[in-house]
Structure 1
Amino acid sequence: MKIESTEIQDTVLDLQPLTYIMERNGFVLAGQWDYERVTFDHKINSPEKNITYYIRVSGYAVEGDVDTGKAVIKLLTPLLGKHHYPHGVEYGEGEEIPQNITEKTERILNNVNDQLKQFIAEEAN
């Protein structure tokens, strides 16, 4: 499910400070190798048996190459997915996600958004 209640989408930032901010907030940079795209995932454990939720924030390079570590990234709309063991993560709108998970997701993403804005404002000065 898309999380459009934050202002993360369309944020543009260098990869290194972006990675630092995301990792400070519990996100992991996915290990796939790509010239143009990045994916950050945040795992949310659930008391439900064999269910885990993931917040995914993806972006693409508007300048440079991701594999060099020197790229400017534009972020896309964050997603909240439900992992169904052993099948994988579903990000569809039809997934039933508890309200406490969506609220936690929004708090995490709002915190990330605040830090991104603060960094961008400090860089502008």
Structure 2
Amino acid sequence: MEGMVHLVPLESKIENKIYPLYVLEEMLKPQGFVIGSNWDYEKGYFDLKIDDEGVYYFLRIPFYAVAGSLDYPGVTVRVDQPFILAHEYKKGYDDEGLGGAFRGAVDQFQTPENPDAEVPEEYIHKGKNYLRDVEKLLLPGS
């Protein structure tokens, strides 16, 4: 394995809420979120990079298509439980000759291998703060 991947689930009021995907994009992209490259026709992720000093830390907001598919204009999605994603990549080269940092950038979107590993409290706190901002955007008055 090129690095360790860990996650910390976060409680959120947006979990299980349903939105048109374009609304989520219009609200979240100006806040720095990007749609992760590891998506398919049924599910995807909004990622916000928190830090990348030897370990990539992201606030990840998963979503699933409930009406249409993700390549369909006007698709409606359900938000799943947000979490902090930490990916510690190894420096060096792998068997294919790809640099570890490059491979780490690709692997950061894979499913975590060890969900029970510790993520520093600092990043959990930052992720919760960003998530509160998202809740204010998506759930006005809450």
TM value normalised by structure 2: 0.72
CA contact 1:62–1:74 (8 Å) conserved in 2: yes
Counterpart of 2:32 in structure 1 is: 26
Within-5 A mapping of 1:2-41? 2-4=9-11, 6-32=12-38, 34-41=40-47
| TM-score of the aligned structures, taking structure 1 as reference length | 0.80
Do 1:58 and 1:75's aligned partners in 2 also have CA atoms closer than 8 Å? yes
Structure 2 unmatched runs, 5+: 1-7, 91-103
Q: How far apart, CA to CA, are the structure 1 residues paired with 2:134 and 2:36?
A: 17
CA contact (8 A) 2:39 2:45 kept: no
* Bigger helix fraction: 1
* Identical-residue share of aligned pairs (%): 27
| CA RMSD, 1 decimal | 2.1
Which residue in the other structure is 1:114 paired with? Answer: 136
Structure 1 runs not aligned, ≥5 long: none
The count of residues paired between Structure 1 and Structure 2 equals: 116
Between structure 1 and structure 2, the one with the greater Rg is: 2
